[in-house]
Amino acid sequence: MAVLPVLTWGDPHLKKNSADVGEWSPELEQLVADMFETALDEEGVGLAAPQVGVNLNLAVIDCSCGEDPAQQIVLINPEIIKEEGSQIGPEGCLSIPGIREVLERPQKVTLRNRAKDGSWHELVGEDLMARAFCHEIDHLRGRLFVEYFGPVKRQVLQRKYQKQMKG
């Protein structure tokens, strides 16, 4: 397994819509392993393929942060089919290190997700998992969480981020 470089705010790869994953392959299996390793190394709950420069509808989530391998979820061509309720809480992004902001997300999310064998099934996530589902799927659609804020707030966050990056 390898830790991959994570693209950061401003990189054009993060603004692209991702292509659907086709047939599962050993290369995709390796990419998923590397993505879990990268998320763990960066202390993140999830990571989408576009964040490591791969334009595919593929993301990994581990709300246990490496504590419980059974909690590792691979999203393949995921699609939100139902959102319920509302939660307001802090959110951050590995592509925008050091920036955390309060954002409203659904309390419960149901996804249609493809398995590695090509079959489809539903996944249901609540609380942090629901937030992670929405956040990672946004990445697959070329959207960063800061885009939910108005232009003034986004500009303030961008200046704060740029100042932080300069040290």
In sequence order, the β-bridge partners of residue 35 are none
CB atoms within 10 A of CB 91: 21
Could you report how far apart the first and last alpha carbons of the chain are, in Å? 30
Which tokens in the block code for residue 83?
């959102």
Q: Which residues are annotated as a binding site for Fe cation?
A: 93, 135, 139
Q: How many residues does the chain have?
A: 167
Choice among 91, 122, 136, 147 that is catalytic:
136
Q: Which residues are annotated as a binding site?
A: 93, 135, 139
Active site residue 136: yes
Nearby residues of 21 by Cβ (< 8 Å), 6 or more positions away: 28, 56, 57, 58, 76, 77, 114
Please identify every residue annotated as catalytic: 136
